[in-house]
Amino acid sequence: MRVGIVILPEHRWPEARERWLRAEELGFDHAWTHDHLSWRWLRDEPWFGCLPTLAAAAAVTSRIELGTLVATPEFRHPVPFAKEVMTIDDISGGRMVCGLGAGAGGHDGTVLTGRGRPAAERADRFAEFVHLTDLLLRRPVTDHSGRYYGAHGARMRPGCVRRPRVPLAVAAGGPRAMRLAAGYADIWITNGTPGRFDALPYREALPLLARQRTALDEACAEAGRDPGTLRRLLHTGATVGGVLDSPAAFEDATGLLADLGFTDLVVNWPRAHHPYAGDAAVLERIAAVLPGNSGRRTTC
């Protein structure tokens, strides 16, 4: 089981830098941040850009993978986005992970146009966004004329450090997004019930996660893909809770999720207040039981 952590882009860099460095020191396998122009409960609080934050984190860390959890078509175009992903991949020496999701509407979906998009349109845009992002990250030159996006002689040189491109992580809960994950993703992302923000205890969430796992396997079979080639990541905190209650709870959760076939678990850096409220000291306590830290001592 690989274990990652979300660090919200809410602190000025001198403080944020210490968190990214500490995540690596504690032994987390990957670290992520949310990609929004502003975010839900923290809309009027400090909030910095996702991709510049990841570039800065790439420059000060050396081992940990770094990713977007998740970038969406709400306010991004695949051409400049892919260029920035390639750049962060280069700065990090090949540690970038490109996490993608359809978006949930809200401020990110209205800030540029003043209007929201229907769910069907968001799904259509997301499908084209994933397809074109995949092409751009794989090819030195891309041409594409689609319903929502164009790319005309889009150059991506020298390309990603990892070949054929950085890993794509696709968030999917419904059938159409599952098919996208089966067709394009290296990592499938779920956070449990889409749109739910009262965290269900992780043991109670297991039946839902098992059904989602089965749906993903069926989407892979439909696409002619071996489901074993797709990593499965659960982002806990907003909809699946209790994982950071104690080291014992963390070990219990990782064991149960591994039995379900999950390969990756992501927790959140605890905050003093909602969202992700908790005790930051718990990260120090669970460091000793992180799978990658087995057999070595972690300084806390």
In one-letter notation, the amino acid at residue 74 is E
pLDDT at 79: 98
pLDDT at 292: 78
**Arithmetic mean of pLDDT, 49-72:** 98
**Arithmetic mean of pLDDT, 30-57:** 96
Pairing of the two strands 141-145 and 150-155:
antiparallel
Query: Is-contact 190 209, C-beta < 8 A?
Result: yes
Q: Is the pLDDT of residue 299 over 60?
A: no
Q: Which of the two residues, 196 and 40, has the higher pLDDT score?
A: 40
Query: Is-contact 50 84, C-beta < 8 A?
Result: no
Query: Is-contact 265 251, C-beta < 8 A?
Result: no
The whole-angstrom separation of Cα 157 and Cα 81 is 14
The whole-angstrom separation of Cα 77 and Cα 60 is 28
For residue range 154-194, what is the model confidence (pLDDT) as tens digits?
Answer: 999 999 999 999 999 999 999 999 999 999 999 999 999 87
pTM of the model: 0.95
What is the chain written as a DSSP string? -EEEEE--S-S-HHHHHHHHHHHHHHT-SEEEE---SS-GGGTTS----HHHHHHHHHHH-SSSEEEES-B-TTS--HHHHHHHHHHHHHHHTS-EEEEE-----SHHHHTTTSS---HHHHHHHHHHHHHHHHHHHH-SEEEEE-SS-EEEEEE--S--SSSS-SPEEEE--SHHHHHHHHHH-SEEEE-SSTT--SPEEHHHHHHHHHHHHHHHHHHHHHHT--GGGSEEEEE-SSSEE-TTS-HHHHHHHHHHHHHTT--EEEEE--BSSSSSBS-THHHHHHHTTSGGGTTS----
pLDDT at 295: 45
Q: Is the pLDDT of residue 195 over 90?
A: no
Confidence of residue 294 (pLDDT cuts 50, 70, 90): low
Q: Is the pLDDT of residue 277 over 80?
A: yes
Query: Is-contact 266 233, C-beta < 8 A?
Result: yes
Query: What is the token pair recorded at 50?
Result: 């996702």
- Picking from 122, 205, 237, the residue whose alpha carbon sits closest to that of residue 213 is 205
CATH code at 2-293? 3.20.20.30
Query: Is-contact 72 146, C-beta < 8 A?
Result: no
The number of beta carbons lying within 10 Å of the beta carbon of residue 178 is 24
Confidence of residue 40 (pLDDT cuts 50, 70, 90): confident
pLDDT at 293: 79
CA 265 to chain centre: 11
For residue range 233-271, what is the model confidence (pLDDT) as tens digits?
Answer: 999 998 999 999 999 999 999 999 999 999 999 999 999
Confidence of residue 296 (pLDDT cuts 50, 70, 90): very low
For residue range 74-132, what is the model confidence (pLDDT) as tens digits?
Answer: 999 999 999 999 999 999 999 999 999 999 888 899 999 999 899 899 999 999 999 99
Nearest 10 degrees: Cα torsion 95, 101, 104, 105: 90
